A and B are shown apart, each in its own frame.
Chain A
Amino acid sequence: MEEKKNETERTGRKLAIAASMLLFSSHRLPGVRGWELRRRLGRNYLKIIDALNSKLNGIGLRVKIMFDQPLGDNPAQEDFDRARFFITLSEPLSVADIVAAGWNIDDVAVLAAALSYIFTKGGKATEKELVELIEVKLPRWKVEAAIERFVRKGYLIRAEDSMIKVGWRTLAEVDEKELLKAIMDLSPSQAKDEVEEKT
C-alpha cells in the first residue's frame, strides 16, 4: 500500500517536471528535445509524456511531437530522442480570440495567404510573388512588414535567391491540409453574408 503511494507520488512529481520543462523553456525555440526529457525523467519518459497529454487534454492543451524529418507510422526510440516536444492548443482558436491575444487581423490574413500559396508551390515561393499576390488585398508596405514579422517569429524562412519557405513554427502549429481545405472552402458569397450579418 505504502509502495503504491510512493509510486503515485513519484509519477506525480515527474509529471510536474515534464510540464515545467515543456512550458518554461529558456531556449530561443520553444519546447525541449526528447533526449533532454529522457535525461530528466528517465527511460520511460514517453509514458510520462503520454500521461501528461491525457491530463492536458482536459484543459484544451496537448503535447505535440515534431520529428526532424517526416517518419513512418512507427518512429524508433532514437527518433523520439531527437524530436522536439512542446505544448500546443488542442482546439483551434476563433478569430475573436486571436485578435484578443494581440494579433492584427490583417497580419493573420497575410500569414494565411502566404502559407497557403507556399504550400501549393511545393514549400517555397519567391518573396516577389507573395507580395504581388497579397498586395491585391492590402497595401504593399503592410504586406512586406507582416512578412518580415513572420520571418522573425519563425513562421516563414527567408532562403537564398529571395525565396520564402515554410518555417519551423508553421510546421509545429499549422495543419497544412486543414488550411488548404479552409481556403478552398472560401466563397465570395460567404464574405457578403458575414458583412450583412454584421450590419
Chain B
Amino acid sequence: MSHEKKMVSKEELERIIALCESIEKRGLDPFSVNVKELLMRLRRILVEQRDLDTIVLDAETLYKIAVLISLQQRWLKERASSLFIDSQLVSLKIASAESKQLATALARSWRPIVKAEQLTLYRLRQGMEYFLMLPPRARVLEKLPIAREDAQRIAGQVGYAKGIELEEEIKKMHDRCIMMAGSSGEVDYWSIVSAYTFEDTVWKAYVLSFMVTEGLAEIKKNPLTGEMKVIPYPSKQKREKIAALVVSIKSGEVSKGLGRKKE
C-alpha cells in the first residue's frame, strides 16, 4: 500500500515537473498554472512521503516552480511595458495585410549586413605561396610504371594471375615472420617485404597484407618516426578494432636499395 502511494506521489511530482518544463519551453502563458495549488500539493506529498527519492524529486519540483514564478515576473514586465504588443493583434495584422505591405514593414526595420566574397590580394598571395610549396606531381609520376606495357610486365613477372596458391604463400610468409621476430615478437616491416626486385617487393607486401587481414599478424606504425613493425601471432587472432593502413611502395623509396632490379 505504502509502495503504491509512493509511486503515485512520484508520478504526481513528475507531472508537475513536465508541466513547468512545457510552459518554459513552449513559451506558454505562465499564469495558466495555479502556482499556489502546486505548492500545496508539494507540501502534502512531502508530509506523506519522507523517503530520500521523494525529497530529491520534491526539491526538483520546487526549483521548476521557482522558474515558473520567474517566468510570470518576466511575462508581467513585458505586458506592463508600453512597447508590449500582443501576438493576437500581430496575427490579425498579418492576416489582413498584403504581402507587399509585410515586405515594406520588414524593409523599414532591416539593415542587411554588407560583406564581400571576392578573393582578396592577400588570399591570392596565400594561395600562390601554397601552390609553389606543393611538390611537382609530374616528377613523381615519371618514376611510376604508368604505361600499360609496364603494368602488364609486372603482372606477368610477379604471376598474380598464374594460379599461385596464395594460402601457401601466406603460410610461408607467416613462418618467416615468426622466425625473424624471434624473442622480441616483432620485426621491421621493410625487412620482411624488401626483395631484390621491385616486383618481388610488391608481391611480398601483397602477401603480408593478406596475412594481416587473416589475423595472423598485426602492423604497428609509430606516428612520430613512421617506423612500421610486424607483430606475427602463432595462430589467428580475432580483432576488436579494424583499421586500414596504406603503405605506398615506390621504386625510389623501397629501402636499403632492395627495391630495384639488380643490374
Residues of A whose CB lies within 8 Å of any CB of B are 20, 23-26, 30-31, 61-62, 64, 86-95, 97-98, 105-106, 108-109, 111-113, 115-117, 120-126, 133-134, 136-138, 160-161, 163, 169, 172-180, 182-186, 188, 190-191, 194-195
Residues of chain A within 8 A of B86, CB atoms compared: 120
Which single residue of chain A is at the shortest CB-CB distance from B74?
A122
Once the chains are docked, how many angstroms separate the CA of A30 from the CA of B25? Answer: 30
Q: Contact at A92–B109, with CB atoms within 8 Å? A: yes
Q: Contact at A188–B109, with CB atoms within 8 Å? A: no
Q: Contact at A23–B102, with CB atoms within 8 Å? A: no
How many residues of B are in contact with the other chain, CB < 8 A?
42
Give the most central of A25, A92, A94, A169: most B CB within 10 Å: A92
Q: Contact at B99–A117, with CB atoms within 8 Å? A: no
Q: Contact at B105–A31, with CB atoms within 8 Å? A: no
Which single residue of chain A is at the shortest CB-CB distance from B108?
A182
Which single residue of chain A is at the shortest CB-CB distance from B99?
A109
Q: Contact at A89–B102, with CB atoms within 8 Å? A: no
Q: Contact at A122–B27, with CB atoms within 8 Å? A: yes
Q: Contact at B120–A24, with CB atoms within 8 Å? A: yes
Q: Contact at A180–B90, with CB atoms within 8 Å? A: yes
Residues of B whose CB lies within 8 Å of any CB of A are 25-27, 74-75, 78, 83, 85-87, 89-91, 93-118, 120, 122-123
Once the chains are docked, how many angstroms separate the CA of A30 from the CA of B86? Answer: 33
Residues of chain A within 8 A of B109, CB atoms compared: 92, 174-179, 182
Once the chains are docked, how many angstroms separate the CA of A194 from the CA of B208? Answer: 81
Q: Contact at A177–B83, with CB atoms within 8 Å? A: yes
Once the chains are docked, how many angstroms separate the CA of A17 from the CA of B209? Answer: 55
Given A180-B90, A186-B101, A86–B112 Cβ distance below 8 Å? no
Which single residue of chain B is at the shortest CB-CB distance from A170?
B110
Once the chains are docked, how many angstroms separate the CA of A95 from the CA of B107? Answer: 6
12 A-B pairs (CB sep. < 8 Å): A26-B123, A87-B115, A89-B112, A92-B110, A121-B27, A122-B74, A180-B83, A183-B85, A185-B105, A191-B98, A191-B100, A191-B101
Which single residue of chain A is at the shortest CB-CB distance from B103?
A108
Which single residue of chain B is at the shortest CB-CB distance from A191?
B98
Q: Contact at A183–B94, with CB atoms within 8 Å? A: yes
Once the chains are docked, how many angstroms separate the CA of A36 from the CA of B244? Answer: 41
Extra pairs beyond A112-B103, A137-B94 (4, CB < 8 Å) = A24-B115, A95-B100, A175-B111, A191-B98
Partner of B93, one of A31, A98, A186: A186
Q: Contact at B26–A161, with CB atoms within 8 Å? A: yes
Q: Contact at B108–A92, with CB atoms within 8 Å? A: yes
Partner of A112, one of B105, B111, B115, B120: B105
